[in-house]
Structure 1
Amino acid sequence: MNRDAQHSEQLISLYGGTTPVRSRWSYRADEPFTVATAFQTDADHWVEWVFARDLLVEGMRGPVGEGDVRLAPEFSGPRDALVMEIESPDGHALLVMDLEAVQDFLDATADLVPLGAEGDFFDVDALIAEITNV
């Protein structure tokens, strides 16, 4: 098991279905339960969101999410898409991404840490040490 393994991809998202937005998707084997995505808002400014990989997996099949991140597949346009709605006290965004590109990213994460095997890669002792500063 390579706990240092990581995978990153850049995807082009569409904000409101019309404006292209560059996004950076990352997954690390030493943080096996989460994915991180960052959206470029200015030339040198990115807004990052971290959420459960399981949420992304479920969002590929149907609508999910009750909090700040909500996902749903969309099969009615010219290309299958994943719609991501993110919300914070600072604002709200609706982003549309190519479903196949997101699936490719998920497949790459599963190559690093198979779905359902996250516990084998999670270092509980390191988390406790980080929380307690021991």
Structure 2
Amino acid sequence: MSTVIEQTVEARLVAAAPRMPSIPATLHYDRDDPFAVRMTFPAPATLEGVEVCWTFARDLLAAGMQKPEGDGDVRVRPYGYDRTVLEFHAPEGTAVVHVRSGELRRFLEATGELVSAGLEHFRLDLDHDLAELMRDA
């Protein structure tokens, strides 16, 4: 069984213009980092012209599909029928994207097959991680 899940989703960038261009984004989950989800946007979709990757909690994504969640750089909330809004806040500005909730649910279901929600801590090797920290000290 694979230890990594990658799923491409269609994200709609919300901008000042009435047209919301569709951009491909990739959701990534690795059972070796069981609490985290990464969302990557390709270079052509970013202001800097370089690929941008945001890392945030898997439970933030799941909870934000039900009700507004997040206080920091990443915020998630439901929007209308079968849409979820993800806001990415950076010093350069805020990016707001809409993603079909069904695509996010499929992704979360697949991650749950790798590591069940609430059992992420069993995937961590704290003794190894602490030994690595102490080795560098």
| Shorter-chain TM-score tier | 0.7 to 0.9
Higher share of residues assigned strand: 1
- For each residue in 1:98-125, what CA deviation from the matched residue of structure 2 results, as whole angstroms up to 9, or x when unmatched? 0000000000000000011101111212
Q: Distance in 2 between matches of 1:127 and 1:89?
A: 31
Q: Any gaps of 5 or more consecutive residues in structure 1?
A: none
Q: Does 1:56 align with 2:58?
A: no
Q: Is residue 18 from structure 1 mapped to residue 20 from structure 2 by the alignment?
A: yes
Question: What does the per-residue CA deviation read over 1:42-71, in whole Å, with 9 as the maximum and x for residues that have no partner?
Answer: 287310000111101101111000000000
Q: Mapping of 1:1-134 within 5 angstroms?
A: 5-16=3-14, 18-42=20-44, 45-75=50-80, 79-134=81-136
* Alpha-carbon distance change, 130 to 37 in structure 1, aligned in 2, over 3 angstroms: farther
TM-score w.r.t. the length of structure 2 is 0.86
Residue 63 of structure 2: SS of its match in structure 1?
helix
Check whether the contact 1:30–1:123 (CA below 8 A) recurs between aligned residues. no
Superposition deviation, residue 92 in structure 1: 1.1
Separation (CA, whole Å) in 2 of partners of 1:36 and 1:73: 19
Post-superposition offset of 1:21: 1.4
Question: Which blocks of at least 5 consecutive residues in structure 2 are unaligned?
Answer: none
Report the count of equivalent residues. Answer: 129
Greater C-alpha radius of gyration: 2
> Residue by residue, what CA displacement relative to the aligned partner does 1:83-107 show, whole Å, maximum 9, x if unpaired?
0011111221000000000000000
Q: CA deviation at 1:133?
A: 4.3
d(CA) in 2 for partners of 1:133, 1:39: 35
**SS of corresponding position for 1:42:** helix
TM norm structure 1: 0.87
1:54 partner SS: helix
